[in-house]
């Protein structure tokens, strides 16, 4: 037996079938577009790295027997030789080092080294750990209250190509953003290290401090 559908019913079936086909094509096109965008859009280039100091250099000319300490009476600093470098934990329980400024004569220098970012990131920002020693200073004589300038090594890893704005350690603590040119925090991504020294022009009553573990020493954020 042959079933004959009314003309209006058969037309509806044809229209509905065509509509479903168009929806399927639309859905396929949408997912194809999403897939294309997910593969063609660049991945985020944000990169955060941490670095610990890799070397500390002492000037042999500063190794004077029977040197008088800059802060007499503090047991942690008693010793026969200068320069004096002290290890301690700051008030945030971070491992830190401090030494006294030596005017224009360098006695202690510390260096951090790292590979350039190398991913085409246009700018990087650096944060330097300043010991939080509000209470530690009074208790043990350890401190960080000098004004320091940090040098940045260029691509050759030896030449200082940029210096930070002065950083007042007496007014900072923890990870502190470094700036250049009176407030600009951005630096190229091809730098390979930083350097600090105790010959910053201040008297030997001022103390320079820095962190020595990677997560509390130097942070680089590039994007």
pTM for this prediction: 0.70
Distance (Å, rounded) from C-alpha 202 to C-alpha 133?
A: 20
Q: Walk along the chain (223 residues) and give the pLDDT tens digit of each residue.
A: 444 444 444 444 344 444 445 544 444 444 444 444 433 343 445 789 999 999 888 777 776 544 444 444 444 443 334 567 888 888 899 999 888 888 777 788 899 999 988 766 568 999 999 999 876 666 666 678 899 999 999 999 999 999 999 999 988 999 999 999 999 999 988 899 999 988 877 877 788 999 999 999 999 999 8
**CATH placement of domain 47-222:** 2.60.120
Q: What is the sign of the dihedral through the CA atoms of 210, 112, 86 and 108?
A: negative
| Residue 141 and residue 71 in contact, taking contact as beta carbons nearer than 8 Å | yes
| Residue 92 and residue 132 in contact, taking contact as beta carbons nearer than 8 Å | yes
Beta bridge partner(s), residue 168: 147
Distance (Å, rounded) from C-alpha 210 to C-alpha 52?
A: 10
Tokens of 183: 């407030």
Tokens of 115: 């590979």
């Amino acid at each position: 037996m042959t079933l004959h559908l009314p003309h209006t019913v058969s037309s509806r079936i044809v229209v509905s079938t065509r509509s479903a086909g168009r929806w399927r094509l639309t859905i396929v096109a949408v997912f194809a577009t999403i897939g294309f965008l997910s593969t063609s859009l660049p991945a985020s280039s944000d990169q955060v790295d941490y670095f610990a100091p890799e070397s500390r250099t002492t000037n042999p000319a500063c190794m004077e027997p029977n040197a008088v300490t800059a802060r007499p009476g503090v047991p942690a600093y008693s010793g026969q030789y200068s320069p004096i470098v002290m290890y301690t934990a700051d008030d945030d329980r971070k491992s830190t080092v401090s030494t006294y400024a030596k005017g224009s004569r360098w006695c202690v220098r510390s260096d951090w080294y790292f590979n350039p970012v190398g991913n085409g990131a246009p700018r990087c920002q650096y944060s330097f750990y300043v010991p939080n020693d509000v209470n530690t200073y009074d208790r043990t004589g350890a401190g960080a209250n000098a004004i320091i300038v940090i040098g940045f090594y260029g691509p050759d890893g030896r030449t200082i190509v940029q210096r930070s704005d002065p950083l007042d350690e007496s007014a900072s603590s923890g990870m502190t953003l470094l700036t250049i040119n009176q407030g600009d925090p951005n630096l190229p991504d091809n730098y390979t290290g930083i350097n600090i020294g105790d010959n910053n022009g201040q008297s030997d009553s001022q103390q320079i401090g820095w962190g020595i573990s990677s997560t509390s020493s130097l942070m680089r954020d590039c994007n």
